[in-house]
Structure 1
Amino acid sequence: MNTFTLFKHSLFQFSDLYQAKKMPFWKVILYVIFLSIILTLPITKQVFTILQDIKDDGQKIAAKLPEFKVTDGKLQTQNQAEGFIYQTNSIIFTFDPEGKRSLNDVSADSVGNAISLGFLKDEFIVSLPDSGAADSLLGTNQFEVPYSKGTLDGLNSQDLKQALDEANIPFWIKLVIFIFTLYPTLINLIVNLLLITIGANLYSKLRLYKLRFFDCLKIVTYCATLPVIISSFLHFINLTFDDSFLIVFVSLLIFFLAIRKENRHQSPLV
């Protein structure tokens, strides 16, 4: 029996899944990766949606920018343009050529998961949401780029608007995001499959089925197909849905149905 046949049985014919014990272990590993990809799809879709929202919001903000240019370590505007604060769903933007605001002021504007950006008189500021992720990965969630360093020297409103209009997410960035999302999903799925296998192996011993631990693991992997698909679908509706219990519980139920045709040991005589 091949992988595709077992996949079909995992959706419609649970009683034949016991034959998964005959599958080579490397194919089972590939199938676990396949299931992880299914679980990763709604998460990566959400990430790409957020990135697109940031791009769209950036274009809205750029349309409101007055003429400016970074030169001689200062943010210089035409016609004494006034500063403003503009908020979208993903960005809280500060434009302050008069020097009225500081890094702490811009960071304090942050609400929820919004990113705070600021073109201040002497520096450009990025403040990420205070979720702990930035601190653990980057050491801080606040970044300052002083104009005096020359990194942004010559930047002007027209260049910024053109860059935002032409901005697209490169394929390699999408691939990196997908891989980074896939890794923790794969680890979590492996942990859940091992938990299911422990319960399944205990059940098979109590029922005197002739199944080893790795036999149970192979069968359980295919039994998890339908729960994984259901969980992925529910994640598209609600990204915060905790799928671990659903996958473990439903996979065990399917395992109980899958091994009914399996041979048993003879009961010891009393």
Structure 2
Amino acid sequence: MNSFILFKQSLFQLTHLHQAKKMPFWKVILYVVFLSAILALPITKQLFSIMQDIKSDGQKIASKLPDFTITDGKLKTASKTEGFIYQTNSIIFTFDPEGKRSLNDVTADSVGTAVGLGLLQDEFVVAFPKSGAADSLLGANQFEIPYSKGTLDGLNSKDLKESLDGASFPFWIKLIVFVFTLYPTFLNLIFNLLMITIGANLYSKIRLYKLRFLDCLKISTYCATLPVIASSILHFINRSFDDSFLIVFVSLVVFFFATRNETRQEPPLA
């Protein structure tokens, strides 16, 4: 018995899944990682789409930029160059060589899911939409990079346009994004599996099955295969779909079928 056989049985022979109780625990953990990867696929695809949109919008913005250079801690342009604000689907960009706008102004521009970017007179600023996600992951939703620190010294419009035109996402970036989505997906699936196992263990006690809690956990993990695949497909269709209830409920139903032929204990004498 191995995980590949149990995977096939989880799709076509549900009543055989009770054999999962014989699986080594480390193989069960690896199978949870496999299921987490399935759930992470639509989220990863969504993030790739967002990254691609930002790249495309960045190229549009770069094409609108006048000639400029950052030297001596200042954004320098031709004397009559005026600032502007340009909005795309994913970015609200501010170009302000005259010093009329501040970080707070750029932050106020950031609405919905759009990221606020600003090449201001003295600094480059980034403002993410106000949400708990940005604060929890990055510690804040707005950032400043003063030109005086020299980080952006020498940057000019020509180099920026060439960099964006030739920009591409290397494989390691995509791998990092996948791992980044896999980790919270794995933790969420672990929580759902514990909920399933608690229900499955209670059902086993009522039915007088000779199953330990760990046995129920192993069987429940493979019972979750079908609802995990279904949830992943639904996520591709509807990004806001909440899969927790579906995974827990359907996995319990599958568990009932999987343990139908399980050995029962003798009921205690009255």
Q: Give the shorter-chain TM-score range.
A: over 0.9
Question: Residue type of the partner of 1:57?
Answer: D
- 1:86-97 superposed matches below 5 A: 86-97=86-97
1:66-104 CA-partner distances (Å, limit 9, x unpaired): 111112322222362221110011100011112221221
> Which residue of 2 is the match for residue 163 of structure 1?
163
> Which residue of 2 is the match for residue 127 of structure 1?
127
**Gaps in structure 2 of 5+ consecutive residues:** none
What's the RMSD between the two structures over aligned residues?
1.5
> Which residue of 2 is the match for residue 113 of structure 1?
113
In structure 1, what is the Cα distance between the partners aligned to 2:62 and 2:259? 62
In structure 1, what is the Cα distance between the partners aligned to 2:259 and 2:7? 16
Question: Residue type of the partner of 2:245?
Answer: F
| 1:120 shift after superposition | 1.4
> Which residue of 2 is the match for residue 58 of structure 1?
58
> Which residue of 1 is the match for residue 244 of structure 2?
244
| 1:269 shift after superposition | 4.2
> Which residue of 2 is the match for residue 152 of structure 1?
152
> Which residue of 2 is the match for residue 212 of structure 1?
212
- 1:130-145 superposed matches below 5 A: 130-145=130-145
Aligned-residue identity in percent:
76
In structure 1, what is the Cα distance between the partners aligned to 2:205 and 2:136? 45
Q: Which segments of structure 1 move beyond 6 Å, counting only runs of 4 or more?
A: none
**Gaps in structure 1 of 5+ consecutive residues:** none
Change beyond 3 A, Cα 1:266–1:137: closer
> Which residue of 1 is the match for residue 195 of structure 2?
195
Change beyond 3 A, Cα 1:216–1:139: closer
Q: Does 1:9 align with 2:15?
A: no
In structure 1, what is the Cα distance between the partners aligned to 2:13 and 2:129? 47
Q: Does 1:77 align with 2:77?
A: yes
SS of the aligned residue for 1:130 comes to coil
1:162-198 CA-partner distances (Å, limit 9, x unpaired): 1111212232222222222111111111111111111
SS of the aligned residue for 1:159 comes to helix
Question: Residue type of the partner of 1:119?
Answer: L
1:220-247 CA-partner distances (Å, limit 9, x unpaired): 1110000000111111122221111111
Larger CA deviation: 169-178 vs 247-256: 169-178
| 1:199 shift after superposition | 1.0
> Which residue of 2 is the match for residue 224 of structure 1?
224
| 1:126 shift after superposition | 1.1
In structure 2, what is the Cα distance between the partners aligned to 1:204 and 1:79? 80
In structure 2, what is the Cα distance between the partners aligned to 1:266 and 1:212? 16
| 1:55 shift after superposition | 0.6
| 1:7 shift after superposition | 0.6
In structure 1, what is the Cα distance between the partners aligned to 2:16 and 2:135? 49
1:87-131 CA-partner distances (Å, limit 9, x unpaired): 011100011112221221111111112111111122211111111
Q: Does 1:18 align with 2:18?
A: yes
Question: Residue type of the partner of 1:91?
Answer: I
SS of the aligned residue for 2:118 comes to strand
| 1:147 shift after superposition | 2.1
Question: Residue type of the partner of 2:217?
Answer: L
1:35-58 CA-partner distances (Å, limit 9, x unpaired): 011111111111111111111100
SS of the aligned residue for 1:76 comes to strand
In structure 1, what is the Cα distance between the partners aligned to 2:230 and 2:249? 13
> Which residue of 2 is the match for residue 45 of structure 1?
45
1:142-162 CA-partner distances (Å, limit 9, x unpaired): 222222332222111100001
SS of the aligned residue for 1:85 comes to strand
* TM-score normalized with structure 1 length: 0.95
Change beyond 3 A, Cα 1:70–1:220: same
